[in-house]
Amino acid sequence: HPSTRAGAGQDVGRSCILVSIAGKNVMLDCGMHMGFSDDRRFPDFSYITRSGRLTDFLDCVIISHFHLDHCGALPYFSEMVGYDGPIYMTQPTQAICPILLEDYRKIAVDKKGEANFFTSQMIKDCMKKVVAVHLHQTVQVDDELEIKAYYAGHVLGAAMFQIKVGSESVVYTGDYNMTPDRHLGAAWIDKCRPNLLITESTYATTIRDSKRCRERDFLKKVHETVERGGKVLIPVFALGRAQELCILLETFWERMDLKAPIYFSTGLTEKANHYYKLFIPWTNQKIRKTFVQRNMFEFKHIKAFDRAFADSPGPMVVFATPGMLHAGQSLQIFRKWAGNEKNMVIMPGYCVQGTVGHKILSGQRKLEMEGRQVLEVKMQVEYMSFSAHADAKGIMQLVGQAEPENVLLVHGEAKKMEFLKQKIEQEFRVSCYMPANGETVTLPTSPSIPVGISLGLLKREMAQGLLPDSKKPRLLHGILIMKDSNFRLVSSEQALKELGLAEHQLRFTCRVHLHDTRKEQETAVRVYSHLKSVLKDHCVQHLPDGSVTVESILIQAAAHSEDPGTKVLLVSWTYQDEELGSYLTSLLKKGLPQAS
């Protein structure tokens, strides 16, 4: 009984879903929990198999995109827990993953007692196990299991995956975005009608305020700060939002004719350019066009940052890495500027617990920095989400596109998911599930199994004057042969021949006792005339040897060895006529009508 099973969560922590489909086991994403810094940050893989080897159990791992809550536990899983099988992700994800994992490792190493954390070498070894997939390319994991990636928007290289075994399939969306933004296009998928669609539901209820609103808000904050002579620090991750915000500021500066300098952290432009050049097909059309004309990071107003600039007086805007203020340039600048209330830091992304970014976002104003000093944060701290997730409308749109038989919601909060679940069930009339973390959902599927029909059998059918017609299903009798995982329907004669078997006739017999003092022959005649009158549609015959037949059913009358007043009727029939045979027996058991 094939089934599709998934363990997932109502949680925006880490994503790690296990799908069993037609005997194949696939792990979807392998994320760490952004909120925990202890054992709980990684999924507990011992739930998958207690003592067996993971490599034997799992057929493959698929990573949807490079965010840590989707790939953060991967090196731990592949290099420390010991999974040695294939890992699939898109090429940009493979290229960018190590950068984030290194950032993450840094944060962990920084803490005490993190000796048992993955090393740089492990991150590299893990990345070497990756098999990069292209969009819309069907990848054959093994003879039965195939996967296919679709564009998901969200971040550079993010993909949705279709997992297919035979006629059964699951689609996993990862995080996605149904509206194009400044640097990425919208998610898109075939009408692939999977048995199950597993979709994120981060913004399950919000029909998000227009993106333009958030952009305006961002520009207003930056502008105000610069106007009153303050400095704005925007800690960014090398890719993604950074480019979007740069394009935004550049346009705004141009229109408002602003003079305050904007800087981009050292090495960042080269790196970003490098990746965008590599992965230009993954961006949106507008960027693709621009890129042909000019280097997309040759901005008029945005220049490379030098360490010394941080001390110069007057307003400025600086984009600096890393995005969580845990090290490097962004942290250095933050330390310099934190004490002045005129300044502002805008955090455009999520921060891992324990980082300076996380601390200031959770409202801490006195930070204990290295070297025993306390840094008082007087500058303004703003959090702005530009995260590109699908909202309720987008999720509904995707469900409409893919036309799944069932929907499973993950990566969201229970209450919001409940709302969406009802909406989906109403509108699409499909079942919708929202398992809690650690819960298993089992879905029965009815896979169509192809069966070959032998020519002989078909010809026999045709001989009856009926041409095969897909619109009119018909009953066809034959023998089903299962051999070498092939299914064939053949005539019984052919089956006997192929399998080298002799034919046996199976007959059922039954004795019916009748109270009749006459001779056997006369009893037979009475039976004959009785049956002849009752069974008008059947061929009832009285044979010369005295026996009576109805179709294949044979009835003989015999004398009873002990009781001369009783006759015994021997009824026998083939299994094909089982129905008629039992009917006849019960009929005869009621006795014969009195001779009139």
Site for other proteins in 332-391 (CB under 8 A): 332, 335-336, 348-350, 353-354, 359, 361-364, 367-373, 375, 383, 385, 387
Q: Does 113 bind other proteins (CB under 8 A)?
A: yes
Q: Does 207 bind other proteins (CB under 8 A)?
A: no
Q: How many residues line the site for other proteins (CB under 8 A)?
A: 91
Interacting stretch for other proteins, rule CB under 8 A, among 121-129, 181-189, 210-218, 583-591? 121-129
Q: Name the residue nearer to other proteins (CB basis): 253 or 275.
A: 275
Strand locations in 424-499, DSSP E? 431-433, 439-444, 452-453, 479-483, 486-490
> What does the alpha-carbon distance between residue 296 and residue 243 come to, in Å, rounded to a whole number?
9
Q: Name the residue nearer to other proteins (CB basis): 227 or 376.
A: 376
Q: Does 12 bind other proteins (CB under 8 A)?
A: yes
Q: Does 39 bind other proteins (CB under 8 A)?
A: no
- Cis amide leading into 322 (omega within 30): yes
Q: Does 40 bind other proteins (CB under 8 A)?
A: no
Q: Does 439 bind other proteins (CB under 8 A)?
A: yes
Q: In this chain, which of 138, 142, 476, 507 binds other proteins, going by CB under 8 A?
A: 142
Q: Does 202 bind other proteins (CB under 8 A)?
A: yes
Would you state the structure tokens that stand for residue 305, as one six-digit string? Answer: 């940052």
Q: Does 270 bind other proteins (CB under 8 A)?
A: yes
Q: Name the residue nearer to other proteins (CB basis): 126 or 170.
A: 126
Shortest Cβ 133–other proteins spacing (Å): 14
Q: 79, 168, 200, 215: which one is catalytic?
A: 200
Interacting stretch for other proteins, rule CB under 8 A, among 308-316, 443-451, 470-478, 494-502? 308-316
Q: Strands 366-368 and 138-140, how do they pair?
A: unpaired
> What does the alpha-carbon distance between residue 500 and residue 428 come to, in Å, rounded to a whole number?
53
Residue 278: phi, psi to the nearest 5?
-65, -40
Q: Does 143 bind other proteins (CB under 8 A)?
A: yes
Instruction: Name the strands in the sheet holding 406-410, side by side, starting at the edge strand that comes first in the sequence.
Output: 138-140, 145-151, 159-165, 168-172, 196-200, 406-410, 431-433
Task: Answer positive or negative: Cα dihedral of 75, 80, 81, 85.
Answer: positive
Interacting stretch for other proteins, rule CB under 8 A, among 63-71, 453-461, 490-498, 529-537? 63-71
Q: Name the residue nearer to other proteins (CB basis): 236 or 249.
A: 236
Q: Name the residue nearer to other proteins (CB basis): 320 or 495.
A: 320
Is 200 a known active-site residue? yes
Q: Does 558 bind other proteins (CB under 8 A)?
A: no
Q: Which ranges of 257-342 does DSSP label H, i.e. alpha helix?
A: 268-278, 285-293, 328-337
Q: Is 176 helix (H, G, I), strand (E, B) or coil?
A: coil
Task: Answer positive or negative: Cα dihedral of 150, 153, 155, 156.
Answer: positive
Q: Does 266 bind other proteins (CB under 8 A)?
A: yes
Interacting stretch for other proteins, rule CB under 8 A, among 111-119, 244-252, 450-458, 547-555? 111-119
Q: Does 579 bind other proteins (CB under 8 A)?
A: no
> What does the alpha-carbon distance between residue 238 and residue 232 come to, in Å, rounded to a whole number?
18
> What does the alpha-carbon distance between residue 173 and residue 162 come to, in Å, rounded to a whole number?
9
* Contact criterion met (CB below 8 Å) for 524 and 556: yes
* Contact criterion met (CB below 8 Å) for 264 and 246: yes
> Which residue, among 200, 138, 143, has the nearest Cα to 173 in the 3D structure?
200
Task: Answer positive or negative: Cα dihedral of 283, 288, 292, 293.
Answer: negative
Q: Does 92 bind other proteins (CB under 8 A)?
A: no
Shortest Cβ 44–other proteins spacing (Å): 8
Catalytic residues: 200
